[in-house]
Structure formats: structure tokens, C-alpha cells
Amino acid sequence: MKKANKSQTSRKEALLLERAKWKITHQLTGGLLFILVGLMAFNTMGMTWAANQDTSELNLTISAGSLEMMNTEARVNFSGTAGTASNNFQNLDGTTIRDFRAAEQNWDVNAYSDPLTGETQSSYVIANTSISLWPSNTTKVNVETYDITKLGNGVNTSLGADNKIFNSEYGAEGAVRLDNILLKVNMAGTEVSQDYSGALTFTVIAS
């Protein structure tokens, strides 16, 4: 009897062990299935980026640039002798025009000068009709992608009025520098000895 009871006990223990193994295996399998289902749902919702492609599209937006003048010299100095009539010349260098608008367009540069006024005695003035600009001597330098053959000169003229000095034609864009812009001040010889000053204004205008 004792042997039979012992045998029955062993079979029960083996059966319990087998059930425990089955339960653990079933739980692990269920967990794996849950993970797989979760990943499938994750992909279905589009949450994984570039899961099935190896390229990305690049988009670059470049806004239209501007038409501008820059680097014009701050001061041009002339000299003469009181009591002596003379023409005094100086060059204006480094005036740069940048044209990076959406499309190539014409532009003009206008020039105008104030009268030169005595700094010590403001009642003494050199008229702006005695100041002239000679654009024909100007050197044009391509700074960046500019066709300098598309740039023309105005006429040598008095700066007593607003005058067109340079113009560009269609097809010229980029940056161009203007050197050796020749300026002349005509002295009558009656000017009082002192410093005279006035503003020379360049304006670049779309045309």
C-alpha cells in the first residue's frame, strides 16, 4: 500500500509540474503576441518615420533680394589756393551696386550735390553749378556675376540738378563696383580762405 501511495504522489507531482510549464509557456506566448500586435498597430498609424523609404525631399526657399548701393566713400577732399582760379579734381572710388531682385531689371544712378558752404563763415558759398561729375572716366568692376557690358554712363554734367549718371540694361544682375568717378570743383578765385563742405548724394533707382 505504501508503494502504491508513493507512486500516485509522484504522478500527481509530475502532472502539476507539467501544468505549471504549460501555463508559463502560454503566458509568454501571449505576451509576445501582444508585443507583435502592438508593433503592427504602431506601423499602421504611421508613427515610424521612413520605415520603407531611403530618400528625403529637400525644399529650399530663397526670397527675392534687394537693389542697393553700398560702400560709397564718406569723404572726398579738394584743395585750392585763395585768389587763384582753378579746377580741382578728385576721384570717388568703391561705390558698389548690388542687384539681387527676383528678376533682372534696369536701374539708374542719379547724382546731386548741395552747394559748398563755408564752415567758418556760412555766408560764403560755392554754388553747386560749379561742381560737376564726369562718369565717362569711371572704371566698372564685376564683383559678383555682373555683366559690366550692360552698364552705361550718363553725360558729364553739373551737379546743380538731379542727374542720371549711370544706367543698367536688362540682363545685368549681381554686384558691380564703380571706381574713378571723377569730380570737379571750379574755383573762381574769389572764395574766402576757409573749409567748405556740402553733401554729394547718389541714389540708385529701379527703372
The model's pLDDT over 142-166, given as tens digits with 9 standing for 90+, comes to 999 999 999 999 999 999 999 999 9
The predicted pLDDT at position 191 comes to: 95
> What are the extents of the domains in the chain?
1-47, 67-206
Average pLDDT over residues 10-22: 67
pLDDT of residue 47 exceeding 90, the answer is no
Quickly tell me which residue has 572704371 as its cell: 139
The predicted pLDDT at position 77 comes to: 96
Lowest average pLDDT, out of 32-41, 70-79, 143-152, 172-181, goes to: 32-41
Residue 40: pLDDT band with limits 50, 70, 90: low
Side-chain-facing half-sphere of 22: CA atoms under 13 Å: 6
Other beta carbons within 10 angstroms of residue 196's beta carbon come to 20
Instruction: Quote the CA–CA distance of 132 and 109 in Å, as a whole number.
Output: 15
The predicted pLDDT at position 5 comes to: 59
What DSSP character marks residue 112? E
Geometric angle at alpha carbon 34, from 24 and 28, rounded to 5°: 15
* Residues 6+ positions from 180 with CB-CB distance below 8 Å: 91, 93, 137, 138, 139
The predicted pLDDT at position 56 comes to: 92
Residue 123: pLDDT band with limits 50, 70, 90: very high
Quick: pLDDT tens for 91-111: 999 999 999 998 889 999 999
C-alpha cell at 102: 527676383
The predicted pLDDT at position 83 comes to: 95
Q: Class of the 67-206 domain?
A: mainly beta
Q: Characterize the bridge pairing of strands 151-153 and 163-168.
A: antiparallel
Instruction: Quote the CA–CA distance of 33 and 39 in Å, as a whole number.
Output: 10
Which of 62-79 are b and which e, b meaning 16 or more Cβ less than 10 Å from the residue's Cβ? eeeeebeeeeeeeeeebe
